[in-house]
């Protein structure tokens, strides 16, 4: 403290610091204005520290080094890749589907170049952007027509607004879902200007409930896939096929919101059967809505397929312009959809399906290979073991379905409280953050979604030293 005024006086000027080698590097890397600003900040910080009796390095080199370190940290993109070892394949908070190589290539091309987005190359006249994928969607779903919006929430919104604004929409009480991120069916109805008419009860809804609800003001009947829950026990629902008959008799469209909606029977990949879009169309729904980045494995998008006259109405809704997708996503969507023409090779080409179809034994073998590396990185404070675990599909697809998987379970050697949470935080702090889950006294790294094994192992070196502090 005694030398503090002295130290403050000896603090170098901005100009002096700018001559230090780290500052020259900073100016070269980030531009002179940013480097000067960072140096000023570093000087301010040093001054503040000296005033409270701290601050060790006050030489120009020290200040410049701290300015450069700050700029380097700040230059890290906020959108960062992570290792998703949560066991949830379609993790909404981790960006849902990982795109296929073909989709990535198509998106990159569309970013680099002008594309015929709304331009008919035959006639030289204006074309339609949805036209780029309409026939593929029709081919894969058996629907008459198709349109695309920003996501499935938008698809539901625009369908309700187009067909039921100022009118009534009939929905079973067992299907009034809330899915993550404040998407609640009753709220969407209200925003779309449709009046919700609830029928039946939470666990049981019968044909007569729908029949009694039909009236002059009925705009549509909505069936909603109860994506993220199941009602079990004493239950009854009216099948889509029967509902389609009822709706048709009264000249009212039936809309089936499938949520995840898959284009192939997942049973061929060893998973439970999830209703396909083609099935929903064949069952007689007039419109079917589903997501692009759930089971379909593409970019975020919302698809609406079904009757031509209804799709035309939706396309005339001014909301369509506000909810449209851009050229980059359209390119990725087209490339993803094309993969479905060859279902036999889907598991090799589409990461979502590849991850879901990955056999447990394959994952366990990978866990065996990586176990020593993790044990070494963590040191004696933790015990690492290869264990069975269960993955989930995620994003509301087959919520009760658990997929047998394997991974690495980490437990503190001494059972110290808080050690697992601290370890989870340390893993999230790695150069490529690792996101795992804590389960029954262990930190579980489900390896189902781990593709680049070498990168994962190399990344672990970032734990050196941290592990002892955690124990």
Residues that bind ligand PLP in the complex, under the rule CB under 6 A: 151-153, 156, 179, 183, 224-225, 227, 257, 259-260, 291, 302, 396
Q: How far is the CB of 151 from ligand PLP (least distance, A)?
A: 3
Which is nearer to ligand PLP, 356 or 364 (by Cβ)?
A: 356
- 3-state percent helix, strand, coil for the chain, nearest multiple of 5: 50, 20, 35
DSSP of 412-446, one letter per residue?
Answer: ETT--TTHHHHHHHHHHTSSS-EE-EEETTEEEEE
Which is nearer to ligand PLP, 221 or 370 (by Cβ)?
A: 221
**CA–CA gap between residue 447 and residue 453 (Å, rounded):** 10
Which is nearer to ligand PLP, 151 or 405 (by Cβ)?
A: 151
CA 16 → CA 13, 27, 64, distances in Å? 5, 14, 10
Which is nearer to ligand PLP, 46 or 256 (by Cβ)?
A: 256
**CA–CA gap between residue 409 and residue 413 (Å, rounded):** 12
Of residues 231, 232, 226, 200, the one with CA closest to residue 213:
200
Q: How far is the CB of 187 from ligand PLP (least distance, A)?
A: 12
Which is nearer to ligand PLP, 153 or 347 (by Cβ)?
A: 153
Q: Where are the alpha helices (DSSP H) in 173-239?
A: 185-192, 207-213
Q: How far is the CB of 213 from ligand PLP (least distance, A)?
A: 21
Q: How far is the CB of 226 from ligand PLP (least distance, A)?
A: 7
Strand partners, 442: 439
- Return the structure tokens found at 222: 């909505």
Q: How far is the CB of 92 from ligand PLP (least distance, A)?
A: 7
Q: Which helix (H) or strand (E) holds 277?
A: helix 277-282
- Return the structure tokens found at 189: 């109805």
The residue number whose beta carbon is nearest to ligand PLP equals 259
Which is nearer to ligand PLP, 255 or 420 (by Cβ)?
A: 255
Which is nearer to ligand PLP, 89 or 377 (by Cβ)?
A: 89
Indicate the SS3 state at residue 170.
strand
The answer to whether 347 and 268 are in contact (CB under 8 A) is no
Q: How far is the CB of 188 from ligand PLP (least distance, A)?
A: 9
Within 8 A by CB and 6+ apart from 382, the residues are 375, 410, 411, 412, 413, 419, 423, 467, 470, 471
Indicate the SS3 state at residue 262.
strand
The answer to whether 200 and 209 are in contact (CB under 8 A) is yes
Q: How far is the CB of 408 from ligand PLP (least distance, A)?
A: 31
Q: How far is the CB of 291 from ligand PLP (least distance, A)?
A: 4
Q: How far is the CB of 179 from ligand PLP (least distance, A)?
A: 5
Which is nearer to ligand PLP, 46 or 150 (by Cβ)?
A: 150
Which is nearer to ligand PLP, 18 or 149 (by Cβ)?
A: 149
DSSP of 7-18, one letter per residue?
Answer: HHHHPPPHHHHH
**CA–CA gap between residue 314 and residue 308 (Å, rounded):** 10
Q: How far is the CB of 120 from ligand PLP (least distance, A)?
A: 30
Which is nearer to ligand PLP, 302 or 412 (by Cβ)?
A: 302
């Amino acid at each position: 403290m005694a030398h503090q005024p002295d130290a403050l006086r000896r603090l170098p000027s901005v100009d002096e610091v700018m001559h230090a080698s780290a500052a020259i590097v900073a100016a070269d890397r980030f531009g002179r204005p940013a480097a000067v600003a960072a140096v000023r900040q570093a000087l301010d910080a040093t001054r503040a520290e000296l005033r409270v009796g701290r601050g060790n390095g006050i030489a120009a080199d020290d200040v410049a080094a701290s300015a450069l370190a700050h700029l380097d940290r700040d230059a890290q993109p906020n959108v960062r890749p992570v290792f998703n070892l949560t066991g949830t394949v379609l993790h909404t908070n981790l960006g849902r589907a990982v795109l296929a190589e073909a989709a990535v290539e198509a998106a990159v091309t569309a970013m680099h170049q002008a594309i015929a987005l709304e331009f008919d190359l035959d006639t030289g006249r204006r074309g339609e952007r949805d036209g780029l994928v309409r026939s593929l969607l029709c081919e894969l779903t058996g629907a008459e027509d198709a349109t695309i919006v920003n996501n499935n929430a938008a698809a539901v919104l625009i369908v309700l607004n187009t067909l039921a604004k100022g009118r009534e929409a009939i929905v079973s009480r067992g299907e009034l879902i809330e899915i993550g991120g404040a998407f609640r069916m009753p709220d969407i109805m209200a925003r779309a200007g449709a009046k919700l008419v609830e029928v039946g009860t939470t666990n049981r809804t019968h044909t007569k409930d729908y029949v009694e609800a039909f009236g002059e003001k009925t705009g549509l009947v909505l069936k909603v896939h109860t994506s993220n829950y199941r009602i079990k026990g004493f239950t009854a629902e009216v099948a889509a096929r029967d509902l389609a008959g009822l709706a048709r008799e009264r000249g009212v469209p039936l809309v089936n919101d499938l949520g995840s909606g898959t284009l192939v029977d997942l049973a061929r990949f060893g998973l439970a059967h999830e209703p396909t879009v083609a099935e929903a169309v064949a069952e007689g729904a007039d419109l079917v809505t589903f997501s692009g980045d759930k089971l379909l494995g593409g970019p975020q998008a919302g698809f609406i397929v079904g009757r031509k006259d209804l799709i035309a109405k939706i396309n005339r809704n001014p909301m369509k312009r506000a909810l449209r997708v851009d050229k980059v996503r359209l390119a990725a969507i087209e490339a993803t959809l094309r993969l479905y023409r060859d279902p036999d090779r889907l598991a090799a080409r589409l990461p979502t399906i590849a991850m879901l179809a990955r056999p447990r034994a394959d994952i366990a073998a990978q866990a065996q290979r990586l176990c020593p590396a993790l044990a070494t990185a963590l040191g004696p404070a933790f015990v690492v073991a290869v264990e069975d675990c269960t993955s989930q599909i995620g994003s509301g697809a087959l919520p009760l379905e658990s997929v047998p998987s394997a991974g690495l379970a980490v437990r503190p050697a001494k059972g110290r409280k808080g050690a697992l949470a601290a370890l989870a935080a340390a893993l999230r702090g790695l150069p490529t953050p690792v996101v795992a889950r804590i389960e029954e006294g262990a930190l579980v790294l489900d390896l189902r979604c781990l593709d680049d094994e070498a990168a994962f192992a190399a990344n672990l070196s970032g734990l050196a030293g941290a592990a002892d502090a955690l124990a």
